[in-house]
Structure 1
Amino acid sequence: MRRLASVDTAPVPRREPSPEERGEAPGARLWHITLSVAGAEAPLAEVRRGLQQLAHDHPFLLTSRYATDHAEIRYWEEARDLHDAAAVALRLWGEHRASAQLPPWEIVGLEVIDRETYHQRVAEGYGPPPATPVGVHPF
């Protein structure tokens, strides 16, 4: 009787696709951005409308949460490194304040993490959950 070689049935670790395989520009990486802004109270309807306009103008925005005196915007940014991703994120609110009629709030927080760190945090249960539902929502 012929013996068959044993087959290792351990799961093969899943490899993250390279930036090129994900259709990203060479040398660029994806960064998860959380931008927090705050300031004087503004009418809730105006805050919502401004964030919806910002999301319409820039469909890369995943989700926004808002109240009368603060908001949080989460999205993915494609950039060469953390410095470039943070620089773009820090300009977002000010550059679109007039066009989206956003409140004159200031940036009070910024978190920039790479794709691998984001997924690791979510898998371990202590990071921000995936942005569902996507869109603009009250806190």
Structure 2
Amino acid sequence: MRRPRPGAFPRGTGSRALTSVGAGADFVDAPADRTTEQEPVVTDGGRNVSRLWHITLSVSGRETPLSEVRRGLEQLAHDHPFLLTSRYANDHAEVRYWEEARDLHDAAAVALRLWGEHRSSAGLPPWEIVGLEVIDRQTYHLRVAEGYGPPPAAPVGVHPY
């Protein structure tokens, strides 16, 4: 039986976060083995070293057949195990996932490299990044609790808009 994670919403409350895509993991919200800002990883005399950040990466470009976009996003989900959900059309896509980083600057830097670094290996379209949102876990949960969070994700997989 799975134990609830600290800070996670109870199951069945309707306030569920995004669900996993692709690689078969069925976690909700942040990975259970990761540390939250309420429980920071601490080293070097009590200094916080890393936190979880919720990333929303938006990309767009020339039209690409939907089957190719989907196949690329599914491979990205397999290559990047903490990918939560992806939505796509033939000329744009949105990818959401959790990133562990020391601060917002580090999380944003990693997020900005994600698409380019996986373009060849995942067969992603040669689109450019047109949007990036990086928020901490607490802000993410506040938005979801207030009804302003991201729209609910489909249970599993990469989904069209």
TM-score range with shorter-chain normalisation?
0.7 to 0.9
Number of matched pairs: 121
Q: Is the 8 A contact 1:122 1:130 kept in 2?
A: no
Partner residue, 1:55: 77
1:106 to 125, 128, 140: 128
Q: Give the letter for the 2:40 counterpart.
A: P
* Inter-partner Cα distance in structure 1 for 2:100 and 2:142: 19
Q: What SS class does the counterpart of residue 28 from structure 1 fall into?
A: strand
Matches within 5 A, 1:1-139: 17-20=38-41, 27-129=49-151, 131-139=153-161
1:134–1:117 distance in 2 versus 1, CA, 3 Å: farther
The structural deviation recorded for 1:135 is 2.5
Greater gyration radius: 1
* Inter-partner Cα distance in structure 1 for 2:152 and 2:160: 17
Moved runs in structure 1, 4+ residues, more than 3 A?
Answer: 129-132
The structural deviation recorded for 1:123 is 0.5
* Inter-partner Cα distance in structure 1 for 2:71 and 2:93: 13
Q: Provide TM-score, normalisation by structure 1.
A: 0.81
Q: What SS class does the counterpart of residue 29 from structure 1 fall into?
A: strand
Q: Is the 8 A contact 1:51 1:102 kept in 2?
A: yes
The structural deviation recorded for 1:86 is 0.1
CA RMSD of aligned residues (A): 1.8
Q: Provide TM-score, normalisation by structure 2.
A: 0.70
Percent of residue pairs bearing the same amino acid type: 83
Q: What SS class does the counterpart of residue 121 from structure 1 fall into?
A: helix
